[in-house]
Amino acid sequence: MRAPELASYQRRFLRSQAHPLRPLVQVGEGGLSASLLGALEEALRDHELVKVRLREPQDKKAAARELAEASRSALCGVVGHTVILYRPHPEEPQIELPTR
């Protein structure tokens, strides 16, 4: 399964949808671990749109790209130390993306 390809207006829509959400996964000093990736997989499967909180990253954008690649999800944006990731459910997508 590959990460979804999103247009800029779709990423903007997903960022607006993520605004009221609380971070479900937090990356601590240990960085990416198997248990963290497992928690992220479960959160993406259950919610499709997830916020991940980074704790004092050296490079926020590189950490966000690494999280997106590891979880095969689309990176919607980085706001402060929070990363917004999206991956549609394989059988029953809940979020309907806008089209032009």
For residue range 66-87, list pLDDT tens digits in order.
999 999 999 999 999 999 999 9
Domain contains 92: no
Is there a domain that residue 98 lies in?
no
CATH number at residue 19: 3.30.110.60
Q: Is residue 91 part of a domain?
A: no
Give the domain range for residue 78. 8-86
State residue 2's pLDDT score.
78
On whether residue 45 sits in a domain, the answer given is yes
Is position 52 within any domain? yes
Q: What is the pLDDT of residue 13?
A: 96
Q: What is the largest CA-CA distance in the chain?
A: 42
**22 touches 49 (CB < 8 A):** no
Round to whole Å and give the CA distance between 61 and 81: 10
For 41-69, what is each residue's pLDDT tens digit? 999 999 999 999 998 888 899 999 999 99
> Which residues have CB under 8 Å from 3's CB, separation 6+?
68, 69, 72, 73, 74, 87
Who contacts 77 (Cβ-Cβ below 8 Å, separation ≥6)? 11, 15, 83, 84
Domain assignment present for residue 97? The answer is no
Q: Which two tokens stand for residue 82?
A: 């929070």
Whether residue 96 lies inside any domain: the answer is no
* Number of domains forming the structure of the chain: 1
Does a structural domain hold residue 23? yes
